[in-house]
Amino acid sequence: MATATVDSGIQDALKALKIKELNDGTSTGSKFFSSGEIIDSHSPADGSLIAQVRTTTKSDYEEVMAKAGAAFIEWRQKPAPLRGEVVRQFGQRLRELKEPLGKLVSYEMGKSYQEGLGEVQEMIDICDFAVGLSRQLHGLTMHSERPGHRMYEQYHPLGIVGIISAFNFPVAVWAWNTALAWVCGDVCVWKPSEKTPLCGIACQNIIAEVLEENNLPEGISCLINGDYKVGELMTHDKRIPLVSATGSIRMGKIVAQAVGGRLGKSLLELGGNNAIIVTPNADIKMTIIGAVFGAVGTAGQRCTSTRRLIVHESVYDKVKEALTAAYSQLRIGNPLDESNHVGPLIDKDAVKNYQYAIEQVVAQGGKLLVEGGVLQGEGYESGCYVKPAIAEAENSYEIVQHETFAPILYLIPYSGEVDNAIAIQNGVVQGLSSAIMTSDLREAEKFLAASGSDCGIANVNIGTSGAEIGGAFGGEKETGGGRESGSDAWKIYMRRQTNTINYTKDLPLAQGIKFDL
């Protein structure tokens, strides 16, 4: 079996999630089929082959779209609270399978087991949010300028929502989108990352059972698998009014052009180059905890990972000393071992990007405070484990301007007022997450003002990584401008319609126009 080298704990998780040795990667609900090439899913934790997945062909895709289109006709007619009940049942099933799914996330992606469990908890939380939302899809009532008329607006389902997710959050981002889209009356077609295909298979197995138990049509939840060519089938497809894509800025620009070229809608969650500003009034202990977790959590492979630490010169040496001491205590190893802080990068290509970034920051004038390197020997056989690194740098360095998906933290000094630090923080093309560490109310408010952080997320006295379900998640500038999860992010999954009702026997025209026959 392909899973022969995988330990018994993982084997039990795969069994609970109904992952087979060879899995069809195309699904229209409970029906799984595929006729494409095979993807091998290896764990970055130990290099083991976990299982295999057959990819989606063009003919497979057409079958998916036919089923999804037919399901939408029926699903949109269901009352929103009923749709919410289905999502509630899905959330309950996730509670029951939290441990095995969290373990699969950890093993296939490489994040710590605790982070894997946390990601599944995000899925549960967004289901809870969506259930409540299913009774709150409100429109507005407005006063008409014409007597005897009533105006209001309402929201209707869009149709088929395409979801392209990244490897770093292989299940949560799909749930952010699909839980909201389902209660809004949409059906979903999901292409997970080809680097974490088994997480997609597991999630589809879970929702398929819920849909079948509720006697709902095939096609409400669909799965496709493969590389970017499979994703292109969705981005160019006029039958998909909205494509939600998470990934790199380069990928997002391609998606935006393809979807925009057919006048479709896109929801983009792209790169981050997130900074924490540390002022003279910062609590240093809180700062170090936030910075270290933000920089090394998920091995620096979060879109919200802390990449830049912008520190006032008066506390620079103190922060540098504390940060270096904290890094010396980090434990790197198997992500399923809860005593470890840092797991592996996703694959050896990511390791090469990490090595390149370290070389470049030195070549461009930076200085390594904590040297990196690839770990070798017992426990590191996969070749994907690296040491978290810290480099003193300038914001203007080309490599600092780019997002490197790895645990590299750039330490950047600033002088003068907090405005100078904000200018450095904003001086990149990305605009996802940001934070300031200060006990000065004026500094905090200046950071949050219109002239402050230009990011979609701005935090005070917490780090850049991690987000609560209740708030809208997303960023500005080349991060794409999309918003997912809480607040009123649900509106992008629906179309707005303005209605006017005339309950008189006359037909007055707007703006007082006369047109008598």
Q: Which segments of 32-159 are extended strands (E)?
A: 32-33, 38-42, 49-54, 141-143, 149-157
Question: Which pair of structure tokens corresponds to residue 119?
Answer: 């990601």
Candidates 199, 303, 384, 455; catalytic one:
303
The Cβ of residue 15 has, within 10 Å, a number of other Cβ atoms equal to 12
Distances (CA, A) of 454 to 256, 268, 388, 425, 449: 21, 17, 28, 9, 9
236: exposed, middle or buried (Cβ count in 10 Å: 0-12, 13-18, 19+): middle
Which residues partner with 367 through β-bridges?
Answer: 392
Which residues partner with 266 through β-bridges?
Answer: 243
Question: Which pair of structure tokens corresponds to residue 115?
Answer: 């982070």
Q: In what order do the strands lie in the sheet with 149-157?
A: 141-143, 149-157, 494-502
Helices H / strands E in the chain, number of each: 15, 24
Which residues partner with 340 through β-bridges?
Answer: none
Residue 110 — left, alpha, or beta (φ > 0 → left; ψ -120 to 50 → alpha)?
A: left
Question: Which pair of structure tokens corresponds to residue 483?
Answer: 């918003």
Identify the sign of the CA torsion 393, 394, 399, 403.
positive
Of 512, 517, 494, the closest CA to residue 144 belongs to 512
Candidates 108, 218, 269, 478; catalytic one:
269
Active site residue 303: yes
β-strand 187-191 against 160-164: which pairing, if any? Answer: parallel
The Cβ of residue 403 has, within 10 Å, a number of other Cβ atoms equal to 24
Distance of CA 417 to the CA centre of its chain: 34
Is there a contact between 60 and 30 (Cβ–Cβ < 8 Å)? no
The set of catalytic residues is 269, 303
